[in-house]
Amino acid sequence: MYGENLKLSVFGESHGAAIGMTMEGVPAGLPVEEARLQQFLNRRAPGQNAWSTPRREEDRPEFLSGVLDGHTTGAPLTAVIYNHNTRSRDYEALRFTPRPGHADYTAFVKYGGFADAAGGGHFSGRLTAPLCVAGGLCKLWLEERGIRVAAHLQSIGGIADDAFDPLHPEIDRVSPDFPVLSPEKGEKMRERIAKVHAEGDSVGGVVECAVTGLPAGLGGPGCEGMESRIASLAFAIPAVKGVSFGAGFAAADRRGSENNDAFAVEGGRVVTVTNHCGGILGGITNAMPLLMHLAVKPTPSIARPQQSVDLRTMQPCPLEITGRHDPCIAPRAVPVAEAVAAIAVFDTLLGTK
């Protein structure tokens, strides 16, 4: 449940009947361009590439409420994606031997064994699909107002892409195929992913996300700040373990004279000469590009044998996870990062006159 002006609720379990989301507070009359939304969703979908899980189905949302004749009606907007994979009994075995790095154990403690363990249940990365339905719509609605949201892979397993220019992020340079700025670096990343995959392992990455065209004055003090609003949703993405804005952790090593962004006037508008603050001062946008980094941990599901515990007997229990899994989820986290930023920004914008 997220939002101040939008109220977003995501539901579903990875192997249940359907996953979906409801957004309340969407103004009436906004366009719902299903084809463009689908393009966005396909960027998150599995199975499109060698390094990703095999394609099972297209994530095609059906709108149950809030959309009529291609426009929002002002009623709560509900979209569902039906699951075609039936609930597998394979998961039964996993029920009492939690997978390291997953929510299996903590969900077991919290829900007392009633949780739908199949495929991670409500904790599955699959739940980012309805998040992307919401975020994809917000992203399109922001574009109508001249606000663009774009992300790329900043690094994978230590191999770094070029960074966005903090003053003029090269959004159009991001490759539609593999989301990097530098094709060479992208090639190296793919090789790295293939290598760890061959070794039955996985690897993490960092996503950089930019929002351009923002007005100054969005956000506020305390938890109304843009960093708080975005981070609270970004940490809802499974596997995200760090969120930073602007120079982020690098700012901690700097001096004030290096880190402060001097003000100047450009084309009659106040700008900053550098953008170490990532477009946010005191929680409020300053009309410079908003810049965020997300740290994505390596996929916890790996082919190598791991050590778990049988929760019934409380005895150590070796674990081997079968099936195919993404050796690196960071590429698929790129559109999710955009979705999160778009939702947070659109929510804030709705509350601003």
Binding to a copy of itself (CB under 8 A): which residues in 194-213? 196, 201-206
Q: Applying CB under 8 A, which part among 39-47, 48-56, 135-143, 225-233 lies near a copy of itself?
A: 225-233
In angstroms, give the least distance from the CB of 140 to a copy of itself.
17
Q: Does 175 bind a copy of itself (CB under 8 A)?
A: no
Nearer to a copy of itself, 231 or 339 (CB): 231
Instruction: Name every residue whose Cβ is closer than 8 Å to that of residue 336 and which is 6 or more positions away in sequence.
Output: 44, 128, 131, 132, 135, 237
Nearer to a copy of itself, 60 or 176 (CB): 60
Checking DSSP bridges between strand 290-296 and strand 240-245, what pairing results, if any? antiparallel
User: Are 325 and 47 spatial neighbours (Cβ–Cβ below 8 Å)?
Assistant: no
**Residue 132 carries which side chain, given as an amino acid letter?**
C
Taking each helix axis as running N to C, give the angle between helix 128-144 and helix 330-350, from 0 to 180 degrees, rounded to the nearest 10.
50
Q: Does 254 bind a copy of itself (CB under 8 A)?
A: yes
Nearer to a copy of itself, 172 or 211 (CB): 211
User: Are 285 and 216 spatial neighbours (Cβ–Cβ below 8 Å)?
Assistant: yes
Please name which of 191, 13, 174 lies closest in space to residue 103, comparing C-alpha atoms.
13
Nearer to a copy of itself, 55 or 249 (CB): 249
In angstroms, give the least distance from the CB of 233 to a copy of itself.
6
Q: Does 283 bind a copy of itself (CB under 8 A)?
A: yes
Instruction: Name every residue whose Cβ is closer than 8 Å to that of residue 195 and which is 6 or more positions away in sequence.
Output: none
* The binder of a copy of itself chosen from 174, 299, 332, 342 (CB under 8 A): 299
In angstroms, give the least distance from the CB of 92 to a copy of itself.
12
* The binder of a copy of itself chosen from 295, 336, 337, 345 (CB under 8 A): 295
Nearer to a copy of itself, 70 or 176 (CB): 70
Q: Does 336 bind a copy of itself (CB under 8 A)?
A: no
Biggest alpha carbon–alpha carbon distance for the chain: 71
Nearer to a copy of itself, 56 or 254 (CB): 254
Query: How many residues of this chain interact with a copy of itself, rule: CB under 8 A?
Result: 142
Chain positions 57 to 96 lying near a copy of itself, rule: CB under 8 A, are: 62-66, 68, 71-78, 80
Q: Does 162 bind a copy of itself (CB under 8 A)?
A: no
Read off the tokens for 154.
């900043």
* The binder of a copy of itself chosen from 167, 264, 312, 324 (CB under 8 A): 264
Nearer to a copy of itself, 27 or 176 (CB): 27
Instruction: Decide: residue 176, CB within 10 A, 0-12 exposed, 13-18 middle, 19+ buried.
Output: exposed
User: What are the Cα distances from residue 336, in Å, to 116, 205, 234?
Assistant: 24, 14, 9
Nearer to a copy of itself, 86 or 315 (CB): 315
Q: Does 296 bind a copy of itself (CB under 8 A)?
A: yes
Please name which of 175, 197, 214, 151 lies closest in space to residue 298, comparing C-alpha atoms.
197
Q: Does 216 bind a copy of itself (CB under 8 A)?
A: yes
Chain positions 4 to 63 lying near a copy of itself, rule: CB under 8 A, are: 5, 7, 9-13, 16-20, 22, 24, 27-29, 62-63
Nearer to a copy of itself, 172 or 332 (CB): 332
Residues in the chain: 353
Q: Mind giving me the DSSP string for 4-55?
A: SSSEEEEEE-TTSSEEEEEEE-PPTT-B--HHHHHHHHHHH-TBSSTTSPBP
Q: In the 3-class helix/strand/coil scheme, how is 141-183 assigned residue by residue?
A: HHHHCCCEEEEEEEEECCEECCCCCCCCCCHHHCCCCCCCCCH
Chain positions 90 to 119 lying near a copy of itself, rule: CB under 8 A, are: 98, 100-103, 105-107, 109-116
Q: Does 323 bind a copy of itself (CB under 8 A)?
A: no
